[in-house]
Amino acid sequence: MGSEDVLKSASTLASYNVLLQVMFRVLTFLLNAFSLRFVSKELIGVVNVRLMLLYSTLVFLSREAFRRACLSSEGAGRNWRQVINLLWLTFPVGCVWGVLLLCVWWWVLQAPDPQSIPHYVPAVGLFCLAALTELLAEPLWVLAHAHMFVRLKVIAESLAMIAKCLVTVVMVVSAPQWGLYIFSAAQCVYAGFLLLCYVLYFIHFLGSEEAERKLFPVSHITDLLPSRVDHEPLLNWKLTTLTWSFFKQSFLKQILTEGERYVMTFLNVLNFGDQGVYDIINNLGSMVARFLFLPIEESFYVFFAKVLERGRDVRHQKQEEVSMAAEVLECLLKLVLLIGLIIAVFGYAYSHLALDIYGGELLSSGAGPALLRCYSCYVLLLAINGVTECFVFAAMSKEEVDRYNLVMLGLSASFLLLSYWLTWMLGGIGFILANCCNMALRITHSIVYIHEYFLLSEYRPLWGLRPHSAVIIALGVSSILTACSESMFCCDDGWLLRLVHITVGAVCLLGVVVTVYFTETRLVQFVRTQLLSKYSKKHT
């Protein structure tokens, strides 16, 4: 597959992933709003913080390193038999992590009050079972992702999420007394649907004319099981050692990604009720980051990993591909920077209104609006870090990955200490400020690496972090106008004045978008031809 085809597929994958994550976030958004009417915020805190932390930790530590290694350019001439054998190790690794995490969640962590939140012990076991079920689909996921089966991921995860939401809604309404069993059953249904969709798709696809036309490396469903070919090693040693390097990194990355949940879970700095409120606001604040920035990062990591040769000097690579990678990186940086700035500017003036509409006085009173305003600024850092680390991880050699693990270790330790100290002083806002500090340090490291990577070439992709002066002025004016609008019209004097406040924001946002359209022409062209290519084709 040529560089142009890889870029096209990665852009399509990013577009579909964005749509998929939009649906996920909207459904979760509505589900939380619905659940708040039937269950306590303490129960929401146990599920969304304690149990989902267990689930994400088990799944991430078991599969992330395998995904990174098997999708990297090391496998350009890969032996898929060896890759599939390596990917099946995710399940036994998951079983080992599952036993360890079960012991911690059952006997080390303080259990919630069984009178107010019953069924905690079986719920922990069911969440582990759901995580292991999802790991069974990992070889199929990597095969699909490597061959750009973009619609499969969208359909599978959409059906799984819809099934999870339906189970949750029905059980919350009909049997709210079941408590944690409701959310445990829903998570098991999600994992089961996900595995079933991938298995059914490959049963249908393998051996078909389409598979033969695409020269798909697997011809029968039994070939997806681990096996050994005569005169060949069971595993690719180079890929295995790369997986180990990524595993050490993924352990640290998980601590950084879910750091505030680990602090809340292991250090008890917030009670379950406060954890529930913080998590709801965290999900609301991170909606754009999760459904827009994360899919772009995942999809263009595939592009950079295929186009660039890992660990090789930029002067000794194909200059056409280096040029394309630099141009794409510059446009991606400009795109996420502008989106992050817009969120930071408008998030300040509309956080109180958003929380009041979503959860009523439960969320809009107290520290809720301040939490969401801080998170709006944090999203800007998330946006930049996602793209810069996406490139860095695709370009680093194995030795550089190992060295960066030491950097991540230092960041992890400082983050945990800073989180505990700031949360002890400032409450939930301390978590967000600690995350901002960590993200700023990670961005600094990535920017230094990118600068040195392209230093001896003619390309300067970091210029993408310099928006046009007209855009900065438009954002500054919008910030002043929306802040004044909030102080005058929001949020205790009825819906008429709220609508006036919303109208002011809409007009300011339109002004910013128009300014971007006429000043950032190169970015607009990139979005048209890559991220929105399927729509632009209709007009060409």
Structure-token pair, residue 332: 């991606």
Identity of the residue numbered 169: V
Residues making up the chain, counted from first to last: 540
pLDDT in the model for residue 425: 85
Q: How many CB atoms lie within 10 A of CB 399?
A: 10
Identity of the residue numbered 256: L
Contact 479, 345 (CB under 8 A): yes
Structure-token pair, residue 334: 């400009």
Q: How far is the CA of 242 from the CAs of 86, 238, 299, 408, 429, in angstroms?
A: 12, 6, 20, 17, 37
Rounded distance between C-alpha atoms, residue 58 and residue 94, angstroms: 6
Q: What share of the chain is helix, strand, coil (3-state, %, to 5)?
A: 85, 0, 15
What's the CA angle centered on 25, arms 22 and 28, to 5 degrees?
Answer: 145
pLDDT 10s per residue in the chain (540 long)?
555 666 666 666 666 666 666 666 677 677 767 777 778 778 888 998 999 999 999 999 999 989 888 887 554 456 888 889 999 999 999 999 999 999 999 999 988 988 889 999 999 999 999 999 999 999 999 988 888 787 788 788 888 988 998 899 899 888 888 989 999 999 999 999 999 999 999 998 887 888 888 778 888 888 888 887 767 788 888 888 888 888 877 777 787 778 778 888 888 888 887 788 788 887 777 776 766 787 778 778 878 888 888 777 777 778 888 888 888 889 999 999 999 999 999 999 998 898 888 777 777 777 778 888 999 999 999 989 989 988 888 888 878 887 887 887 788 788 888 888 888 888 788 888 988 998 999 999 999 989 888 887 788 888 888 899 999 999 999 999 999 999 888 877 778 888 999 999 999 999 999 999 999 888 888 888 876 554 334 333
Rounded distance between C-alpha atoms, residue 284 and residue 48, angstroms: 13
Contact 263, 269 (CB under 8 A): yes
Structure-token pair, residue 431: 């978590």
Q: How many CB atoms lie within 10 A of CB 357?
A: 14
pLDDT in the model for residue 538: 38
pLDDT in the model for residue 539: 38
Contact 464, 329 (CB under 8 A): yes
Rounded distance between C-alpha atoms, residue 264 and residue 267, angstroms: 6
Rounded distance between C-alpha atoms, residue 428 and residue 373, angstroms: 12
Rounded distance between C-alpha atoms, residue 349 and residue 351, angstroms: 6
pTM above 0.75, yes or no: no
pLDDT in the model for residue 537: 43
Q: How many CB atoms lie within 10 A of CB 116?
A: 12
- Measured in whole angstroms, the distance separating CA 198 from the mean position of its chain's CA atoms is 21
pLDDT in the model for residue 2: 56
Please name which of 74, 216, 209, 45 lies closest in space to residue 140, comparing C-alpha atoms. Answer: 216
Query: Is 469 exposed, middle or buried (CB count within 10 Å of its CB: 0-12, 13-18, 19+)?
Result: exposed
In terms of C-beta distances under 8 Å and separation of at least 24 residues, what long-range contacts does 309-314 make, across chains too? Answer: 309/73, 310/72, 310/73, 310/74, 310/394, 310/395, 310/396, 310/397, 310/398, 311/395, 311/396, 311/397, 311/398, 311/399, 311/400, 312/397, 313/456, 314/453, 314/454, 314/456, 314/457
- Measured in whole angstroms, the distance separating CA 472 from the mean position of its chain's CA atoms is 28
477-516 burial, b if ≥16 CB within 10 A, otherwise e? ebbebbeebbeebbbeeeeeebeebbebbeebbeebeebb
Structure-token pair, residue 56: 């994400």
Rounded distance between C-alpha atoms, residue 494 and residue 239, angstroms: 61
Which is it for the CA torsion 347, 349, 351, 357, positive or negative? negative
Structure-token pair, residue 478: 């919008």
